[in-house]
Structure 1
Amino acid sequence: MTTTQRRPEEQGLPFNVFAKACPSRGTLEHVTGRWGALTLGALYEGSLRFNELRRRVDGVSEKMLSQTLHALERDGLVHREAQLTNPPRVDYELTPLGRGVAQRLLSLIRFVEDSMDAVLEARERYDDTRGAR
């Protein structure tokens, strides 16, 4: 494979989420999607079992949570610990990388929550000017 045919990361080039083929796009999608962000935020508080996590992330289906956890585990953000007990016990926790991502996400989440009065006012003005409601 020539230098021009190799992926950017194989050439020592920086990743670029704006480039269509960059693998960082998939990770960004996993992290910033609704269920990924909420799952990472919930796990920031500590290790949780699947059903505890599902209750904490209100509204997520079992299937979506399972898919989200698999994606986050594959990206190295979540660690899955299965214990061979009866019944089996599986705990999920953030990896050091996942903690760093979750910390930044929680800052954004808090900013959004703190800004909701302004957001709701903007929505109302928008809807009033367009006759929506």
Structure 2
Amino acid sequence: MKKEKSQLTDICQLQLQGVKDTQDLLSGKWKTVIVAALYYNGKFRFMNLSRHIEGIAPKVLSKELKDLEMNQLVKRTVIDTMPITVEYELTSQGKSLNKVIEAMGEWGVNYRKSILKK
């Protein structure tokens, strides 16, 4: 007996492509954490953001922020002070990830609670 290949519906294929696109934009160990930190706390100066995200090297943070800025999720603002101040915040496109970030946060909290109970 020959098995039939299951066909994905157009809607399913579209949603899978959306998941892939989101995953590509937020890929890596730090991008989602950076977006979440900016979502929950608003603007950050570089060093404050670096201190806030435990374990990230400044070089890695810089690269990830550049990627997020290039993909229009993060806005970089240079303030003409002495010394120069640089602030990072989410763009409106970055802020539109709010449901994703909140869902991940809630799921993570619940998951941690369920694992610690065992």
Q: TM-score range by the shorter chain?
A: 0.7 to 0.9
Unaligned residue ranges in structure 2 (runs of 5+): 1-13
C-alpha separation between the residues in 2 aligned to 1:36 and 1:18?
16
Identify the residue that residue 23 of structure 2 maps to in structure 1: 28
Q: Name the CA shift for 1:33/1:120 in 2 (closer, same or farther; >3 Å).
A: farther
Q: Is the 8 A contact 1:46 1:93 kept in 2?
A: yes
RMSD of aligned residue pairs (Cα, Å): 2.4
Identify the residue that residue 60 of structure 1 maps to in structure 2: 56
Q: What is the TM-score of this pair, normalised by structure 1?
A: 0.66
Q: Is the 8 A contact 1:79 1:93 kept in 2?
A: yes
Higher relative CO (Cα under 8 Å, sequence separation at least 6) belongs to 2
TM alignment of 1:1-133, pairs within 5 A: 16=17, 24=21, 28-44=23-39, 45-119=41-115
C-alpha separation between the residues in 2 aligned to 1:62 and 1:51?
8
Q: How many residues are paired up?
A: 103
Q: What residue identity is the alignment partner of 1:47? A: K
Unaligned residue ranges in structure 1 (runs of 5+): 1-13, 123-133
Q: What is the TM-score of this pair, normalised by structure 2?
A: 0.74
